[in-house]
């Protein structure tokens, strides 16, 4: 079976009909289970966490979101309840307090801001022209590893999303990759192979090939997700992502329930289909 645990409802109403559209899209994409993982900053319950200069809008009630997904689970639909939490340095206790309020199946950690700069936002792309690319990457990986060290999360999202607009440092990132991989391994976290990058200006999977190789060789557990914000993106390019995983000798993927991880082998039959 295949599953996709990085799916957002935010571009539509938080109701059963919108949720069913994602379930139908999953069926058409041969994805057997989806996990909704709304951005925590969307919730009114988190308004006091995020720095004001991030300019985030909390417009959704977390209790309503949790009930919506939980009711679908209770009615037998193949869904999981998740959340994506941006790492806010210095707000670890507030993040933990929020996470502990709800019965998540898993929690995704991510980094989208370097201080006040939303580096992956189209409306802030121009700021790349006023930044050192090398320094931006260093600062990003520092935040990413700080987030991992908190152990608040189960999955670390799109590990090199910093490359989203195609800006890359001149030098090698191998040392950063190795340091990041060791920290994820020590924290016993999963890394995400994300097909979202294929739909972005960079036009490639997250993480980059060399980064994926280092993570796999270090023994960091993988999961494959789409980061879908629309029904039609559920399971997007999963065959490519599964083949990518096999290329780097990743033979099993993580699944979650009630924040407990299990490892599911990529079967030889599935691998053969994906490689044909």
Domain boundaries, the chain: 3-275
pLDDT mean values, one per 10 residues, the chain (276 residues): 96 97 98 98 96 93 98 97 98 98 98 97 96 97 98 98 98 97 98 98 98 98 98 98 97 98 78 44
How far is it, in rounded angstroms, from Cα 170 to Cα 180?
19
For 3-275, CATH number out of 3.40.50.2300, 3.40.50.620, 3.20.20.140, 3.40.50.720 equals 3.20.20.140
Q: Is the dihedral of CA 236, 237, 243, 249 positive or negative?
A: negative
Strands 252-257 and 260-265: antiparallel
How far is it, in rounded angstroms, from Cα 190 to Cα 109?
10
How far is it, in rounded angstroms, from Cα 200 to Cα 187?
29
Instruction: Give residue 15's pLDDT.
Output: 97
Crossing angle of helices 174-187 and 133-149, in 10° steps, is: 10
Predicted TM-score (pTM) of this structure: 0.95
How far is it, in rounded angstroms, from Cα 153 to Cα 189?
7
Give which of 73, 78, 86, 31 is closest to 226, Cα–Cα: 31
């Amino acid at each position: 079976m295949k599953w996709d645990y990085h799916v957002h409802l935010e571009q539509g109403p938080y109701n059963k009909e919108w949720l069913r559209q994602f379930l139908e899209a999953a069926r058409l994409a041969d994805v057997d289970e989806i996990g909704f993982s709304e951005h925590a900053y969307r919730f009114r319950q988190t308004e006091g966490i995020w720095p004001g200069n991030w300019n985030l809008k909390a417009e959704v009630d977390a209790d309503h979101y949790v009930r919506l997904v939980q009711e679908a689970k209770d009615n037998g639909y193949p869904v999981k309840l998740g959340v994506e939490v941006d790492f806010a340095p210095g707000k670890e206790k507030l993040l933990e307090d929020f996470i502990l309020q709800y019965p998540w199946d898993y929690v995704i950690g991510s980094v989208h801001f370097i201080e006040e700069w939303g580096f992956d936002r189209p409306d802030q792309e121009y700021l790349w022209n006023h930044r050192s690319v090398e320094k931006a990457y260093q600062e990003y990986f520092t935040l990413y590893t700080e987030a991992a060290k908190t152990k608040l999360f189960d999955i670390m999202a799109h590990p090199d999303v910093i490359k989203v607009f195609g800006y890359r440092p001149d030098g090698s990132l191998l040392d950063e990759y190795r340091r990041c991989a060791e920290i994820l391994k020590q924290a016993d976290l999963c890394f995400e192979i994300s097909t979202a990058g294929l739909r972005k200006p960079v036009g490639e999977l997250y993480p980059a090939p060399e980064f994926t190789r280092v993570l796999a060789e270090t023994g960091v557990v993988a999961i494959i997700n789409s980061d879908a914000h629309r029904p039609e993106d559920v399971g997007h390019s999963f065959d490519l992502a599964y083949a990518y995983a096999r290329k780097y000798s990743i033979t099993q993927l993580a699944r979650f329930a009630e924040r407990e991880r299990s490892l599911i082998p990529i079967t030889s039959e599935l691998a053969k289909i994906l490689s044909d």
